[in-house]
C-alpha cells in the first residue's frame, strides 16, 4: 500500500485534517481502504423498497458523498507507546503485549492490529482512561460504548429499518461517519450489559471479534455488508463471571492491579502535564514533589478531579503553582448545609 495521500471527498478530508493536527504520534497514516462496496450501495439506492424509507435514504446519500474509502493507520515505530507506559505503569504488561503485535504488523507492513483485550479489575483503576490514551498514542479513532446502558444488541449492530425510530448501530456509525477503518472501540463495563435475553446486547460481538466474519458485518438498518475486520477492541470489566465464555475466548484477558505509590505518582505527574497541554492553563510545567507524594494515595480515576480542584484553588490565590495544601484531600471536605 502506498504512503501517498489519496484523494478524498471534501467532507471526509476536512474532518480528518482538522483532527490530525493535535495528534502527536510516530504511528503513521499509511493510506486508505474501502469499508463497503460502492456498487452494492448504488444497487441499494436504486431499490424502490429503500426509497420509501427517508432515514435510510439519507444515510445512503451520506455514504455516497463521503465515499467508501477510510484512513488506515500503520505503525511506523513503537516509541509512541513509551509515554503511555510511563503514564499508566499498572498497564505495563498490556502495553508490552501490544508492542509485540505492533512489531509483527511492522514486520509485515500491515495496519495496526492486536487481539481484542479485556481489562479486568476493580473500579477506579483508570481502565477507560488507558484505552482512550492508547487510541491517541496509536493515532487512530476512539469510540466509547457504555455497555452498562445497553439493553439490546441493536446498539452495536443496528435495528431493522422497518421498526419505528430505528437507526444504524455504533459500528456502522463509526465506519460511515468517522475517518478511520481501524478505530479503537472501547466496550466499557461489558460485564454489566443486560436486558431481554431475546436481544442479547453481546450477540453482535460473536462475529465482530472474529476478523473473518467481521469482514462481512451486516448492520441491520443499512442492510449492507461493512468491513469491520480492522476495528481494534478493548473491553473493561470488574468481574468476568457474567461474560460468556465464547466472548472471553476471543480476547486476551488482563487483571489490572492498583498502582503502587511510585506508579500513582507517575500517573499524577502525567495527568498534571495533560491538563496543562489540554487547557493551556498557566502553571509550572511539572507538579511539585510533595503534591505528587500526596496524590500517591489517590485512586487513578480521582486524580484528575483532585488536581483540577487544587489548580482552581491556586488560581484563586493568584499563584502559578499548586501546593500540597491546595489538594482537597489535604483538608477535611466542607459540609454545605442549606437551611431556611
Nearest to 289 by CA among 317, 305, 266: 266
User: Which among 255, 273, 290 is the end of a domain?
Assistant: 255
Looking at residue 310, which CATH number applies to its domain? Answer: 1.10.8
**Does 340 fall in a domain?**
no
Residue 276 sits in which domain range? Answer: 261-330
**What is the torsional sign of CA 44, 45, 48, 53?**
positive
Which one is predicted more confidently, 47 or 242? 242
User: Which among 236, 255, 274 is the end of a domain?
Assistant: 255
In this predicted structure, the answer to whether residue 237 has a pLDDT above a threshold of 90 is yes
pLDDT at 50: 54
pLDDT at 319: 96
In this predicted structure, the answer to whether residue 65 has a pLDDT above a threshold of 70 is yes
CB 240 within 8 A of CB 253: yes
Helix axes 38-46, 54-66, angle to 10 degrees: 150
**Does 3 fall in a domain?**
no
- Tens-place pLDDT, residues 114-153: 999 999 998 888 898 899 999 989 989 999 998 876 655 6
**Residues 6 or more apart in contact with residue 186 via CB below 8 angstroms:** 128, 131, 132, 142, 143, 144, 145, 234, 235, 236
**Does 240 fall in a domain?**
yes
Structure confidence at residue 194 as a pLDDT band (50, 70, 90): low
CB 180 within 8 A of CB 229: no
Are 221 and 280 in a shared domain?
Answer: no
CA distances (Å), origin 99, targets 215, 258, 339 = 24, 22, 58
For range 180-188, the mean pLDDT: 95
The whole-angstrom separation of Cα 56 and Cα 65 is 14
Nearest to 326 by CA among 305, 304, 311: 311
CB 265 within 8 A of CB 324: no
**Does 336 fall in a domain?**
no
In this predicted structure, the answer to whether residue 2 has a pLDDT above a threshold of 70 is no
pLDDT at 150: 61
Number of domains in the chain: 2
Among the residue ranges 21-30, 173-182, 207-216, 286-295, the one predicted with the least confidence is 21-30
**DSSP result, 46-75:** H-HHHHT-HHHHHHHHHHHHH-SEEEEE--
In this predicted structure, the answer to whether residue 29 has a pLDDT above a threshold of 80 is no
The whole-angstrom separation of Cα 282 and Cα 291 is 17
Q: What is the reported pTM?
A: 0.81
- Tell me the average pLDDT of the chain: 84
Are 91 and 113 in a shared domain?
Answer: yes
- Tens-place pLDDT, residues 220-235: 888 889 999 999 999 9
Are 244 and 312 in a shared domain?
Answer: no
Amino acid at each position: 500500500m502506498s504512503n501517498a495521500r489519496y484523494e478524498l471527498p471534501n467532507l471526509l478530508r476536512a474532518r480528518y485534517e482538522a483532527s490530525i493536527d493535535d495528534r502527536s504520534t510516530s504511528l503513521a497514516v499509511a493510506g486508505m481502504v474501502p469499508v463497503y462496496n460502492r456498487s452494492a450501495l448504488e444497487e441499494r439506492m436504486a431499490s424502490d423498497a429503500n426509497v420509501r424509507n427517508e432515514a435510510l435514504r439519507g444515510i445512503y446519500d451520506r455514504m455516497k458523498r463521503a465515499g467508501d474509502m477510510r484512513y488506515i493507520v500503520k505503525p511506523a515505530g513503537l516509541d509512541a507507546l513509551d509515554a503511555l507506559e510511563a503514564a499508566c505503569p499498572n498497564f505495563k504488561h498490556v502495553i508490552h503485549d501490544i508492542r509485540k503485535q505492533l512489531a509483527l504488523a511492522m514486520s509485515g507492513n500491515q495496519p495496526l492490529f492486536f487481539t481484542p483485550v479485556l481489562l479486568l479489575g476493580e473500579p477506579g483503576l483508570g481502565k477507560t482512561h488507558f484505552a482512550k490514551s492508547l487510541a491517541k498514542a496509536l493515532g487512530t479513532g476512539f469510540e466509547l460504548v457504555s455497555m452498562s446502558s445497553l439493553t439490546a444488541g441493536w446498539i452495536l449492530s443496528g435495528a431493522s429499518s422497518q421498526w419505528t425510530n430505528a437507526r444504524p448501530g455504533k459500528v456502522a456509525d463509526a465506519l460511515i461517519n468517522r475517518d478511520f477503518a481501524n478505530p479503537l472501540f472501547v466496550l466499557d463495563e461489558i460485564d454489566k450489559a443486560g436486558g431481554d435475553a431475546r436481544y442479547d446486547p453481546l450477540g453482535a460481538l460473536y462475529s465482530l471479534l472474529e476478523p473473518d466474519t467481521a469482514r462481512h458485518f451486516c448492520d441491520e438498518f443499512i442492510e449492507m455488508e461493512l468491513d469491520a475486520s480492522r476495528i481494534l477492541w478493548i473491553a473493561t470489566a470488574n468481574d468476568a463471571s457474567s461474560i460468556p465464555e465464547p466472548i472471553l475466548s476471543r480476547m486476551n484477558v488482563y487483571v489490572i492491579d492498583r498502582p503502587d505509590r511510585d506508579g500513582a505518582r507517575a500517573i499524577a505527574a502525567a495527568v498534571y502535564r495533560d491538563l496543562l497541554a489540554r487547557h493551556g492553563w498557566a502553571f509550572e510545567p511539572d507538579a511539585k514533589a510533595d503534591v505528587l507524594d500526596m496524590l500517591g494515595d489517590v485512586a487513578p480515576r480521582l486524580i484528575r478531579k483532585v488536581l483540577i480542584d487544587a489548580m482552581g484553588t491556586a488560581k484563586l490565590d493568584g499563584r502559578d503553582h499548586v501546593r500540597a495544601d491546595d489538594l482537597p484531600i489535604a483538608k477535611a471536605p466542607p459540609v454545605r448545609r442549606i437551611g431556611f
